[in-house]
Amino acid sequence: MNKRKKTKVYDWPTRIFHWLFAILFLGAYIIAEFVDDESKIFSYHMLAGITMIFLLLIRIVWGFIGTTYARFSSFKLQPRELVKYLKDSVIAKTKRYLGHNPASSYAAILMFICALGLAVTGILMTSGTKMEFYEESHELFANLFLVTVIIHVGGILFHHLKHNDSLWSSMLDGSKKSLPGIDGIRNTKAISGIILLMLTSLWVGYLTKQYETDTQNLSLFGIELNLGEDHSSERFFEEYENEDD
């Protein structure tokens, strides 16, 4: 068997989600770190986060109905298997997996949880109550997400150097080196990938239509969210002070 032979593993929707999710997080993180929170540009940090959750909901559905290695059932989430995988990565030759290995499986789940945590705390921050707690929780989820990404990327590079199997490119072309007796996927679901891009475009269009740049207000399915610094608690204290005057 040709050691360089590859087989398709990741379908189009999985790969498109992967890169859109990564780009949106990176963009949101950069805005949060380098843009003043009083700037109107800062609102796009939250719009990016809301779009991440939209994509995540689709990914969760795809995790049950997608192709073999897109499904959560293919994730290696046994703690004992993760420990062995990490141990072998240091002292031996790690076992190769056609789909997600234990480390990438846990990394994916952790990033999904962090994204949900970021969304919940971000929305709660707009309510103006317990602002400090929500802000600290939001920052914690963001940093945990970033650390997970860094470890994930480092693991991919380490795996490539150890196995020389170009694991890093699997989310670009969807292919990985074949394993004896294990089949890849036959259909990469290109049409489903196009539908995902169309749905994402429609979602971004919806957010754009519902977002008022001047007031930084977003009407999300009838729920009014203020994406600027003028949160409800601040308005409450301003009104209370005016009444005292």
Indicate the pLDDT class of residue 91, thresholds 50, 70 and 90: confident
The pLDDT, as a whole number, for residue 41 is 92
What's the confidence (pLDDT) of residue 128?
Answer: 63
pLDDT in tens, 141-175: 999 999 999 999 998 888 777 777 667 788 999 99
Residues 227-244: pLDDT tens digits?
875 544 444 334 444 455
pLDDT at residue 62, as a whole number: 98
Beta strands, E only, the chain: 6-8, 175-177, 211-212, 217-220, 223-226
pLDDT band with cut points at 50, 70 and 90 for residue 66: very high
What's residue 129's pLDDT?
A: 64
Segments in 2-78 forming alpha helices (H) = 12-34, 43-65
What is residue 244's predicted lDDT score, i.e. its pLDDT?
53
pLDDT category of residue 63 using cuts at 50, 70 and 90:
very high
Q: Which domains does the chain have, with CATH numbers?
A: 6-244 (1.20.950)
Q: What are the strands, taking DSSP E only, across 20-75? A: none
Q: How far apart are CA 21 and CA 92, in angstroms?
A: 33
Could you tell me which residues come within 8 angstroms of residue 236 by beta carbon, excluding any fewer than 6 positions away?
A: 128
**Cα separation, 132 vs 115, whole angstroms:** 19
Q: How does the average pLDDT of the chain come out, rounded? A: 87
Cβ-based burial of 80 (10 A; exposed 0-12, middle 13-18, buried ≥19): exposed
Name the amino acid, one letter, at 65: I
pLDDT for the residue numbered 166: 67
Q: Which two tokens stand for residue 60?
A: 């969760």
Average pLDDT (103-132) is 88
pLDDT at 240: 40
Q: Is the pLDDT of residue 8 over 70?
A: yes
Give the pLDDT confidence score for residue 4 in this predicted structure: 59
